[in-house]
Structure 1
Amino acid sequence: MTAFMQSPSTVNIPTLPEGWPIASYSTYQEAQRAVDHLADSAFPVQGITIVGVEPMLVERVAGRLTWGKVLGSAAASGAWLGLFVGLLLSLFTPGAGFAPIAIGLVGGIAFGLATSAARYAATRGQRDFISTSQVVARRYDVLSVPANAQRGRDMLATLAMKGPQVA
């Protein structure tokens, strides 16, 4: 059943995947390549599921966070917000000229600096780095509905014999 045909109470309820494993891969790209191969071979892919097994959260540190970086990015983002508000005010205030833009710009910078400085000071040096987080899995299993599982295994075995895809 597709999402638009389901009742609102069942659309986002997590459920365990169903099907029989037909292949296992160490990267998501390999699993995606396998499903693409099945799709290109007219296999009924609507019965396929890619399952990430043993998920983990990976946080990659991008750099050191300093007061200069915090205040610099705060001033820049505050300036954009202030400029936007100032432009809106100048559009709806007849004869106001440049004053609403300048006030919005200065106010946005001040607001950005104050809020970012308060947030960064509240961490008390406990998080002096910038990072990005990503959920990854140790392996990716491709599952198929039981009726098509053996055919899918056979098709993916021929893909495996071809070797890694050349870019």
Structure 2
Amino acid sequence: MVRGSRRREAVLGPAGAWWLRERVLGRFPIPILLGQSVLGATMRGGRAVLHVSGQDGRSRDIAADHVIAATGYRFVAHSLPFIDATLLRDLRCVEQVPLLSTSFESSIPGLYFTGIASAYNFGPVMRFLCGCQYTAERICRSIGERQAPSRSTLAALVSEHNPNSS
């Protein structure tokens, strides 16, 4: 476990607005279970049976007539379908989140992550619109500082792809 990662998980995990707790807990004649992860679900005797795991790691089954699961969202870098699996093998991660440089660049040169994918490295504000300007400035500066190919390199590339361009 990376130092401080437990604290990050508690701070950066899915959560409702601060004011929701007082508006919900104890106000309805139904049990409300917080901090549970749904591991599986089946039907038994016309009731939903959820196999859940608590924050303490213990699992149990809960039978219910109705279920409302406010699951939140957890970013998992290696589950991104639009990035080739061979590329993802080189992506350095901690707790399934890419490790990023101060310019939001991953361990794969030229591959940047923003939004919730960058919150583990830079804090919860990156999950929201207000973090966009900070992120955009760093990424643009990083891309702009990359050394542009020389004219001779560009000419070689052009002639390689277009033999009539000499």
> Which TM class, normalised by the smaller chain length?
under 0.3
Structure with greater Cα Rg: 1
| Higher relative helix content | 1
TM-score (norm 1): 0.21
Q: Bigger relative contact order, structure 1 or 2, given CA contacts below 8 A and separation 6+?
A: 1
Between structures 1 and 2, the one with greater strand share: 1
Structure 2-normalised TM-score? 0.21
